[in-house]
Structure 1
Amino acid sequence: MAQLSVPTVDYTEYSNRQLVAIPLALLAVALLVIGGWYLATGAPANLGLEFVGGSELRIDDPGGNAEQQIEAAFSAEPESIRQIAADDTYIVSFSQGVVDTADGETQLTVLEEQAEAAGFSIQSSSSVSASFGSNTQTIALGGVIVAFLGMSLLVFAMFRSVVPSIAVIASAFSDVMLPLAMMNLLGINLSLGTVAALLMLIGYSVDSDILLNNSVLRESGDFYESTSRAMRTGVTMTLTSIAAMAVMTVSAFAFGIQIMTAIGIILVIGLLADLMNTYLLNVSLLRWHVNRGVKR
């Protein structure tokens, strides 16, 4: 059976500045993308219906030129039209307030009437109010903040030192920011599912960083021996996770499961970022800490 071989990196060939250059440069680009998105849209990413409110219809495949038929059937332009190939259906989403309604009517009611008038067979329909979406935003943001606070307290309690704690926090922060920026560039909405993927990345990041910190700060051996030992386990673990997520992404895309495809893409990007941040950014900060700022 083939085994994964993790090559040994000779960190003595690189200074701490060289190690942090690429992670910090990519983080800066990611923050520019997210900041630009916020200035343009008022949000750090494209928000899904769960966060802004809206309506969603699930209809049977109407046949040839399906997307053109769907667009022509409604008085408002759909926010998105997603095909679910596995069961020959389409999910049509509309932002809140895009449809004119009369007294006693809701946006969802009007959309259902328009779909039926066009001859579409509606399997299901749902709606999220703008106020509920705002509350969901607050809860999701609170979840991310609590995750970071909990992670920070745990790491500080384990190592009782500021620098290792900062290394873990910085790595986890970058692991979240890089996929978030790529979500904007790839057109992936921020939804409850993708927020869950970002929270998973925080867990992955803490796991790999604690493995490295524990090996360097608590186990026997010099810095480079300890780092190499942690890499053999950490890189193998992360690459295995990346392979599993890649398979999931391809499978979900083939079956038209959009949310699972989005989660898979986010996790693959985030895990690749974690490899970089753990074994470049975190290693450089730990080496500085162990050698008390001595240049190498």
Structure 2
Amino acid sequence: MAYFDVPEIEYTRYSNRQLAAVPLAVLAVALLVLSGSFLVYGTPVPLGMDFAGGTELTVQTTTPEGEIAASFDQTPESVTGTGTENQYIVRFSSTDSAALTDQATDSDTGLEPDGDAEIVQSVSSTSASFGAGSQQTAMLGLVVAFVGMSAIAFLLFRTFVPSIAIVISAFSDLVIPLAFMRLVDIPLSLGTVAGLLMLIGYSVDSDILLNNHVLRRSGDFYESTYRAMRTGVTMTVTSMAAMLVMAVSAYVFGIGLLASIGIILFVGLAADLMNTYMLNLCLLRWYKFEGVRR
């Protein structure tokens, strides 16, 4: 396996408080963003149609993208291209799909047809009650995954500080992308929940790798840390590059969901680098040199 040229950081130059300060400050800002969003909007992150309910029309029309909204009585939540010429996805909070279809095809005020193609290519509608049920199921899945990850961490190391370091890092890896979603208005959907579940797995992998090298393998603390970084940073940076390429490619071809998942994973993996090799590491160092009673 090829490695990046990972620099050997002189951790002895920094105290545990200095190492923990940056990731904890970022986590605090992320929690502040989510709390403020909950107070203002009623939800920590914007909810997609899967969870909030609504209607999605795929339309084929020569009407310019900026003028599509004028054909409907209700202002669309969003209008995005699909990558196919003259084809757009129009999303509404309303669940009255029949009325929206009629408005799109109205000969006087509706959308302009694109040749012989039907204006409305497909219709997808989700009721508010079904969306609320899906939201509860998705949140339950995230909680179960996080609790399961925490239990595995405690079973593997059976000591409080190394285990709680993994849990705190994973929690921060999850909260920071959620705050990012709020800031850039990426809606929470079944697809983005899948991306968040993947982040939990990535986080546990890198944190357990570091803990295992430091606590269970021979060698000096900093030597063990550098060995773990060579593998962990290589894997994480490679994954970040792959997610960035996926996000950019999906955006170019108009695949919004894949673009959202890619950018969420990219941000989450960047947070994981910070949390693993600053926050987790400072807790391990404290445990190794000060917390362990000999």
**TM bucket, shorter chain:** over 0.9
SS at match of 2:290: coil
- Residue segments in structure 1 that go unaligned for 5+ positions in a row: 98-106
Q: 1:265 to 1:211 in 2, by over 3 A?
A: same
SS at match of 2:23: helix
1:49 paired to 2:49: yes
1:33 paired to 2:22: no
Separation (CA, whole Å) in 2 of partners of 1:291 and 1:159: 17
Q: 1:22 is aligned with what amino acid?
A: V
Q: Is the CA contact 1:242–1:271 (under 8 Å) kept in the aligned structure 2?
A: yes
Matching residue within 130, 141, 145 for 1:147: 145
The equivalent residue for 1:218 is: 216
Q: Is the CA contact 2:62–2:86 (under 8 Å) kept in the aligned structure 1?
A: no
Structure 1 residue 187, shift from structure 2 partner: 1.3
Separation (CA, whole Å) in 1 of partners of 2:86 and 2:288: 59
Deviation track 1:45-81 (CA, whole Å, cap 9, x = no partner) reads 0000111111110001x2252331x211111000111
Structure 1 residue 3, shift from structure 2 partner: 5.5
Deviation track 1:193-213 (CA, whole Å, cap 9, x = no partner) reads 111111111100000000000
Q: 2:69 is aligned with what amino acid?
A: E
SS at match of 1:292: helix
Identity of aligned residues (%): 58
Matches within 5 A, 1:247-258: 247-258=245-256
Matching residue within 108, 116, 121 for 2:97: 108
1:9 paired to 2:9: yes
Matching residue within 94, 97, 112 for 1:96: 94
Return the TM-score normalized by structure 1: 0.92
The equivalent residue for 2:62 is: 63
Return the TM-score normalized by structure 2: 0.93
Q: Is the CA contact 1:52–1:130 (under 8 Å) kept in the aligned structure 2?
A: yes
Separation (CA, whole Å) in 1 of partners of 2:183 and 2:139: 21
Q: Is the CA contact 1:57–1:93 (under 8 Å) kept in the aligned structure 2?
A: yes
C-alpha RMSD of matched pairs (Å): 1.4
SS at match of 1:291: helix
Matches within 5 A, 1:226-245: 226-245=224-243
Deviation track 1:87-109 (CA, whole Å, cap 9, x = no partner) reads 54111111136xxxxxxxxx111
Structure 1 residue 140, shift from structure 2 partner: 0.5
Q: 2:265 is aligned with what amino acid?
A: L
Matching residue within 264, 279, 282 for 1:281: 279
Q: 1:172 to 1:3 in 2, by over 3 A?
A: closer
Deviation track 1:202-237 (CA, whole Å, cap 9, x = no partner) reads 100000000000111111112111111100000001
Separation (CA, whole Å) in 2 of partners of 1:180 and 1:96: 25
Q: Is the CA contact 2:4–2:230 (under 8 Å) kept in the aligned structure 1?
A: no
Q: Is the CA contact 1:175–1:205 (under 8 Å) kept in the aligned structure 2?
A: yes
- Residue segments in structure 2 that go unaligned for 5+ positions in a row: 114-118
Bigger CA drift: 182-191 or 230-239? 182-191
Separation (CA, whole Å) in 1 of partners of 2:86 and 2:195: 27
Structure 1 residue 277, shift from structure 2 partner: 0.2
1:122 paired to 2:120: yes
SS at match of 1:96: coil
Q: Report the count of equivalent residues.
A: 282
Q: Is the CA contact 2:3–2:234 (under 8 Å) kept in the aligned structure 1?
A: no
Separation (CA, whole Å) in 2 of partners of 1:24 and 1:162: 19
